[in-house]
Chains A and B, each alone.
Chain A
Amino acid sequence: NAGVTQTPKFQVLKTGQSMTLQCAQDMNHEYMSWYRQDPGMGLRLIHYSVGAGITDQGEVPNGYNVSRSTTEDFPLRLLSAAPSQTSVYFCASSYSMARGTEAFFGQGTRLTVV
């Protein structure tokens, strides 16, 4: 029972490099989302998806792209990394968009941009 799996767990990038953070869930959840976690600021929503082929922006979308070609996968792309994107990134999924549905989180990707 894997739940939500994120890869890699750690990554160091140079400014201007691109990379993709992977997220996969095996619970057949429709709703998936990406958050970034910064000290003292809690988690902030970057992008979310309510199903395959449908994505939308959250609170802090600038510098990030997403796509949802399958129900299982929701990758987050950084096209040109900046030091301000140094953070811990969490992917989450839930059965539906209905309010109160429990969100399941991955273990996070710790990204450092130098």
Chain B
Amino acid sequence: AQSVTQLDSQVPVFEEAPVELRCNYSSSVSVYLFWYVQYPNQGLQLLLKYLSGSTLVKGINGFEAEFNKSQTSFHLRKPSVHISDTAEYFCAVSENNAGNMLTFGGGTRLMVKP
């Protein structure tokens, strides 16, 4: 069975600083990987996804993530954050035999301070 671990429940960072949100997964089969963002009082929206090909994936709002198969990680990065990036970020996986069903990590709350 697959599982997703987001190592940090909260990440405080100052505006214009770089940030990395960590995600590790465990699965015995090939996976697709996703990052979703949830702004306050809103639903989740897709930031980016890795299906195959290049391990560096670029998403919306300047975010990118790198798939590392040997370390089973899919960390999310942004070189310079804005106040508007304050939100909760969820890493998710779908396994080869699970269709489009997603398993989510516990979430990381990014708090950008002025």
Contact = CB atoms under 8 A, between A and B. Distances in A.
Given A40-B106, A42-B4, A100-B49, A31 B43 contact: no
Name, among B32, B45, B94, B99, the residue most crowded by chain A CB atoms within 10 Å (CB to CB): B99
Nearest to A106: B43
B104 interface: yes
Interface residues of A, number: 28
B46 A102 contact: yes
A33 B98 CA distance: 14
Nearest to B43: A105
Contacts of A102: 46, 49
Contacts, number: 65
Interface in A36-79: 40-45, 48, 50, 58
Given A41-B106, A58-B101, A100-B94, A105 B44 contact: yes
A100 B44 contact: no
Contact of A90 (B6, B43, B46, B98): B43
Contact of B100 (A40, A43, A58, A99): A99
A33 B104 CA distance: 14
A31 to B, nearest CB: 6
Contact of A107 (B41, B90, B99, B105): B41
Interface string B1-43: 0001010010000000000000000000000100010000111
A99 B90 contact: no
A13 interface: no
Cβ-closest 10 pairs across A and B: A105-B43, A42-B104, A97-B99, A105-B44, A43-B104, A100-B51, A42-B106, A107-B43, A40-B106, A97-B100
6 contacts: A97-B100, A98-B100, A99-B94, A102-B49, A103-B44, A103-B102
